[in-house]
Amino acid sequence: MGNVFSGSEIVEVGIQIEKNGRDFYREAAGCSGDEAYRKAFKYLMEAEEKHIETFTGILSSVKKYEPPESYPGEYFAYMKALADEHIFTKDNAGCEMGKKASSGAEAIDMGMDFEKDSIKFYEGMKKVVPEKDHGLLDALIKEEREHLKELGELKQLLKEGG
């Protein structure tokens, strides 16, 4: 298939994933009856905001890629179709998933799954971006791994009653 996406497109998808993650944690915080989980979700929502800022900074440092198209919008339509396979790239996915969490513990588990899916998504995208953009994807992966680690620590802390 060759190089289909540039690093800038992947970062843009990453920003959408983070926005939906932020919305997920906002919804989970609003629905949680447990104060410890509510605080945890607020923290996670703020962490997603920081990721959005980080990804936006990364995006501003890369050059936009303008691919050749057979018709206007072809490339964007293809990219959107591929990205839509990732749950957190869909508009309002975060809010919708937040409403489905039946407990704070379930929401944390869902958040961990989303972070893992994001890591897999970015790792898979390394196959379709130019090699010069692999460093950008590595930066995104590093951010997601750190968030996954934080979620794991938070889950353990809440399980222990802290």
Q: How far is CA 148 from CA 55, 73, 75, in A?
A: 17, 35, 31
Query: Would you call 71 exposed, middle or buried from its count of C-beta atoms within 10 A (0-12, 13-18, 19+)?
Result: exposed
Question: What pLDDT score does 145 carry?
Answer: 93
Q: Give the whole-angstrom CA distance, residue 39 versus residue 150.
A: 14
Residue 95's H or E segment, with its range, is helix 93-100
Helix (H, G, I), strand (E, B) or coil at 17: helix
Q: Residue 154 corresponds to which tokens in the numbers above?
A: 């938070």
CATH of the domain at 42: 1.20.1260.10
Residue 153's H or E segment, with its range, is helix 134-159
Residue appearing with tokens 């447990």: 34
Q: Give the whole-angstrom CA distance, residue 73 versus residue 93.
A: 24
pLDDT by residue, tens only, the chain of 162 residues: 444 566 677 778 778 888 888 888 888 888 777 787 788 888 888 988 988 888 788 777 766 656 566 777 676 666 556 555 555 555 556 666 666 777 778 888 888 988 888 888 778 777 766 787 788 778 888 988 988 998 899 888 878 875
Asked if residue 54 is part of any domain, the answer here is yes
How many domains is the chain built from? 1
Report whether 129 contacts 90 (CB < 8 A).
no
Asked if residue 44 is part of any domain, the answer here is yes
User: Which residue segment(s) compose the domain that 107 sits in?
Assistant: 7-159
Question: What pLDDT score does 2 carry?
Answer: 44
Asked if residue 2 is part of any domain, the answer here is no
In this structure, how many other beta carbons lie within 10 angstroms of the beta carbon of residue 85? 10
